[in-house]
Structure 1
Amino acid sequence: MSTELTLDGIVARVWPGEHPRYLAILVHGYGEHIGRYEHVAAALLAHGAAVYGPDHRGHGRSAGERVLIENFEDVVTEVHAVAERAMADHPTVPVVVIGHSMGGLIAARYAQRYGEALAALVLSGPVIGTWEAIDVLLSLEEMPDIPIDPATLSRDLSVGAAYAEDPLVWHGPFKRPTIAAFAAAMETIAKAGGLGPLPTLWIHGEDDQLVPLAGSRRGIEAVRGDDLTEVIYPGARHEVFNETNKEEVLAEVTRFIDRALGCWNSP
């Protein structure tokens, strides 16, 4: 059972764990909302976490013009406010940030800014490195009203069907300021340097057509620190947490977290 909290217009879901071993901060992707991560939260709860996840501004139940992001630094700050609330609720408990797609971009930048307080970082299909769609969209006079093809999300086609029917998912065109903000954030991340000793897990679908593997690999090489684990799933599409082998993916994440917690020293 989850509850909601609101911080300056940002609505976050909380899956409270009793005496948690760690805090998991879930960071969702573009156009979607944290409610699509219910099964991920359940797996983390069963693993001993308390789980917190915001709907980004302009997404899901949070305030703001739909899918308008003018500066990702502001989004990182808002995720940090949720993390600070989690840490206030559970002092001295280690924190793990898990970000998917656009959420992977946010999580990577979060780790660059606040990584000294983290026990681990998980990046799923992150939009870092290069993303050809940005240059294509910025070259157009008008943003095309072409929704994401639900079939590119997962080999489990029920995932795409549910996505297409979800009223909290944005099904309209990108907004130019958001695309420009993506470009700026990816450049900032590339220039900000590596993640040092922070244990980092990068997971990606081999057949990810939305955020192709090769572009993200360039971003991973730019930020990688001393402790990177890479897992590429053959045949998997963009949403590896919703893939046909999602139990395998979640088991990989929890194994990684166990290892990272074993090495964690309270700052």
Structure 2
Amino acid sequence: MTTTVREWEFAGSRGAVSARIWARPDPRYIAVLAHGYGEHLGRYPHVAEALVRHGATVCGPDHMGHGRSAGERVLIEDVEDVVADLHTVVESARSDHPGLPVVLIGHSMGGLIAARYAQLHGAGLAALVLSGPVLGRWDALSELLALEEIPDAPIDTATLSRDPDVGRAYTADPLVWHGPFKRTTVQALQDCIDRINAHGPLGALPTLWVHGSDDRLVPLEGTRTGIEAVRGDDLTERIYPDARHEVFNETNRDEVLGDVTAFIDRVLR
């Protein structure tokens, strides 16, 4: 089987957005990836390739101000703009493959974006996967907003994964943002959490929530309050003992990706 990887660019809400497609000639579904804060889609080829092997054509954007997309680094004024850019990618994939089911997979801030997308456009989705999503209550945001000046404190890469190579690669990646949070972005994330909580459940949309029990970046209990706010009729949760924030990059990543593909199989059946 041949995977073709292609990058393309479109006019996003606030400037040019770079998107990527891992295509296979005979897909049975479309998987859309929404990456996390400060990172980019170039950190996800192993996830994309696992999904391609499973039968997907995979696509996703670098969010505005992230990776290869335009805009001031990590500046997001309104998460609704990022959701709109994601919708452009979904609609493009849908036009290439009319009739195929769409599965949306969001990690961390991408989980926030994916959950909001599902609230607005859930009728067009077959399933939703949320990995360590920023939902419900993220105390880091309120703590940052209370400060007069946001400190330039890089994240401890040991919190990403028990695999030290993941932290080393993250530190060395020039497309990853290693500077401080921006107050505008922090406020936008908090506003989106509040909007999601107020909007309520996802109805019949099959949803898989995966999270590490030792996630110190986006702690489990804060996210659980958000999952309870949005959970619909079909929620599956997988909490991995001792796993940290990036479960797709964890030492048990094959187990996690296996749970994701098994969930997708169940939904598509």
**What's the TM-score, normalizing by structure 1?**
0.98
Structure 1 position 38 matched with structure 2 position 56: no
SS at match of 1:99: strand
What CA distance in whole angstroms lies between the structure 1 residues aligned with 2:7 and 2:42?
11
* 2:117 aligned with 1:110: yes
CA distance in 2 between partners of 1:186 and 1:245 (Å): 29
Q: 1:218 aligns with which of 220, 225, 229?
A: 225
Whole-Å separation in 1 of the counterparts to 2:169 and 2:25: 31
Q: Which ranges in structure 2 are unaligned for 5 or more consecutive residues?
A: none
Partner residue of 1:265? none
Please name the residue that 1:83 is paired with: 90
Q: How does 1:19-98 map to 2 (within 5 A)?
A: 19-98=26-105
TM-fit CA distance, 1:59: 0.1
Partner of 1:168: 175
1:6 pairs with 2:13 = no
SS at match of 1:68: coil
RMSD over aligned Cα atoms:
0.5
Residue aligning to 1:120: 127
Q: Percent identity?
A: 66
Structure 1 unaligned residues grouped into runs of 5+:
263-267
**Following superposition of structure 1 onto structure 2, how do residues 121-136 of structure 1 map, counting pairs within 5 Å?**
121-136=128-143
Alignment-derived partner of residue 191 in structure 2: 184
Residue 238 in 1 paired to residue 253 in 2? Answer: no
Shift of 1:18: 1.1
State the 1:158 CA deviation. 0.5
Q: CA deviation at 1:55?
A: 0.1
Query: 1: distance between equivalents of 2:146 and 2:189?
Result: 14
Shift of 1:193: 1.1
Offset at residue 2 of structure 1 (A): 1.1
Secondary structure of 2:58's counterpart equals: strand
C-alpha distance in structure 1 between counterparts of 2:155 and 2:92, whole Å: 33
- Aligned pair count reads 262
Q: 1:111 is paired with a residue of what secondary structure?
A: helix
Q: Which of 183, 193, 196 in structure 1 is aligned with 2:200?
A: 193
TM-score (norm 2): 0.97
Cα displacement (A) at 1:17: 1.5
2:161 match: secondary structure:
coil
Q: Whole-Å Cα distance in 1 between the matches of residues 254 and 190 of structure 2?
A: 33
Structure-2 separation of matches of 1:260 and 1:32: 29
Cα distance in 2, alignment partners of residues 223 and 130 from structure 1: 13
C-alpha deviation, 1:58, in angstroms: 0.1
